[in-house]
Amino acid sequence: MKDRLKFIILPGWGNDGSGKMWQYQKQHLQELDTEFIIVTDKTTVTEAAEEVLSKAPEQFIVLGHSMGGLIAQHVALMAPQRVKNLILVGTFPGNISPAQRAIFEERMLQPSLKGTISTHLEELNKGAVAPSRANDRVLLESLRACQNLTDAELVNQSKILLSAQDISEKLAAISTPTLILWGRHDQFFPMEVQALMLKHLANAKLAIIEDCGHIPSLEQPQATTSLLSLWLQMTVTN
């Protein structure tokens, strides 16, 4: 029997790495050997990428969501020969706007430092999903169930985001097949950010999921999985 390809998922900020947020995808992409790598003890993107590479196999497909997508881009730049396929979900190439920096600092880092982040998560989560589902209690509870990191771990992950530097001009060095997956109503990283990555990545395709915000795996699990499956079938070579 042919060995299954290793599929590394790098979750976004606050995700506890239990796999709950990507459970549907894991169940329906059984031809892949899925593993979650969560980085909670590093404070820079470079350190986080180095940790991922120390834990990953020699060859792998990597999917990074949000903060994990930023780390995944650094991983592909550091070790292009090891990354077979790159999937970037609701992410950015490190170009932080003043408004985003304020969110990372005031709504994520500072509450984590003060031990009050739990009181901010509901507001953050409502802003993470499509506006039409901001009061969808089932969806929001599913999202909250994925967020079980300690305050110290959230501080570190917030610092990773704040350490980001714009690497868009460097992305041309990544020639591996790349899928940019984006929810039409993502309020964190808008379309112009996705277009920037698409412009610079040498071998990238953009797929847009309708009626979806920043959390495609939970908001539109079937559409997300179908897009991943189809693109992987077209691009993965053994």
What span, in angstroms and rounded, lies between the C-alpha atoms of 195 and 189?
Answer: 11
Q: Mean per-residue pLDDT for 43-69? A: 98
What span, in angstroms and rounded, lies between the C-alpha atoms of 162 and 91?
Answer: 14
Which residues, in sequence order, are CB contacts of 230 under 8 Å at separation 6+? none
Q: Is it the case that residue 205 has pLDDT exceeding 80?
A: yes
Q: Burial, 110: exposed, middle or buried (Cβ in 10 Å; 0-12, 13-18, 19+)?
A: middle
pTM of the model: 0.96
Which residues, in sequence order, are CB contacts of 79 under 8 Å at separation 6+? 53
Which residues, in sequence order, are CB contacts of 198 under 8 Å at separation 6+? 180, 204, 206
Structural fold of domain 5-97+156-235: Rossmann fold (3.40.50)
Q: What is the DSSP letter of 223?
A: H
Q: Render pLDDT for 85-117 as a digit per residue (tens, 0 to 9).
A: 999 999 999 999 898 999 999 999 999 999 999
